[in-house]
Amino acid sequence: DVKVTQSSRYLVKRTGEKVFLECVQDMDHENMFWYRQDPGLGLRLIYFSYDVKMKEKGDIPEGYSVSREKKERFSLILESASTNQTSMYLCASTWTGIQPQHFGDGTRLSIL
Amino acid sequence: GQQLNQSPQSMFIQEGEDVSMNCTSSSIFNTWLWYKQDPGEGPVLLIALYKAGKLTSNGRLTAQFGITRKDSFLNISASIPSDVGIYFCAGQLTGNQFYFGTGTSLTVIP
């Protein structure tokens, strides 16, 4: 079975902090994604990566950056956390080609 | 980014009833996917549809990839309490282009 693991289920941080969310997949997937999920807005793509050190902006990249130094790990970074970044963050991965995404369990992030 | 039109937004049904939900788009997709999300968890893949017009089953779940490639439906037969959750459709264009519906919230009343 595909396993996508997000490092924290719940996280509470303060405004202005630099926040790191980590995601690891064990299936040698080329593509990895970060989404945020808010009530009524569905899943919105923040960034995705199609290879090591490669990244593409999604629909809402402002205030975020990403890092992919190894194929299995994709990190989301909130450079200076703000309260409007309180949300559920979901990581997903898939192979290249027409293959479905597999999601992690999510990180519920609260910025106080 | 593009969002798919998913309906209904929410459903309240009695245990044992059948459920139907659908997803439409103005775009053509190569794959349709259906996910279920339990509260506080990530979405879990239920069914992947790869061929237009084809019906695919997974236990009590049946889904179809519309012949126009612009729509899909998901049916759940004989609902049970653990079917509660949010169901998402997703259309896939390429290996890294996915578009999601806003979800159907299902409540099953015992």
Q: How many CA atoms lie less than 13 Å away from B47 in the CB half-sphere?
A: 25
Give the CA diameter of chain A.
40
SS3 content of chain B, % helix, strand, coil (to 5): 5, 60, 40
Contacts of A56 in chain B (CB under 8 A): 96
| 8 Å CB contact of B96 and A97 | no
Minimum distance, in Å, between the CA of residue A54 and any CA atom of chain B: 13
pLDDT tier at A95, thresholds 50, 70, 90: confident
**What is the distance between the terminal CA atoms of chain B, rounded to a whole angstrom?**
38
Residues facing residue B106 across a β-bridge: B11, B85
Tell me the per-residue pLDDT of A19-75, one tens digit each, with 9 for 90 and over: 999 999 999 999 999 999 998 888 899 999 999 999 999 989 999 999 999 999 999
Minimum distance, in Å, between the CA of residue B4 and any CA atom of chain A: 10
Tell me the per-residue pLDDT of A23-37, one tens digit each, with 9 for 90 and over: 999 999 999 999 999
Contacts of A27 in chain B (CB under 8 A): none
Per-residue pLDDT at A107 exceeds 90: yes
Per-residue pLDDT at B3 exceeds 90: no
Asked if A88 contacts A44 with a C-beta cutoff of 8 angstroms, the reply is: no
Residue A53 tokens, joined: 């050190």
Residue A83: helix, strand or coil by DSSP?
helix
Q: Measured between alpha carbons, how far is residue A4 from residues B32, B45, B107 in Å?
A: 21, 13, 27
pLDDT of residue B1: 58
Determine the Cα–Cα distance for residues B91 and B99; give it in Å rounded to an integer.
5
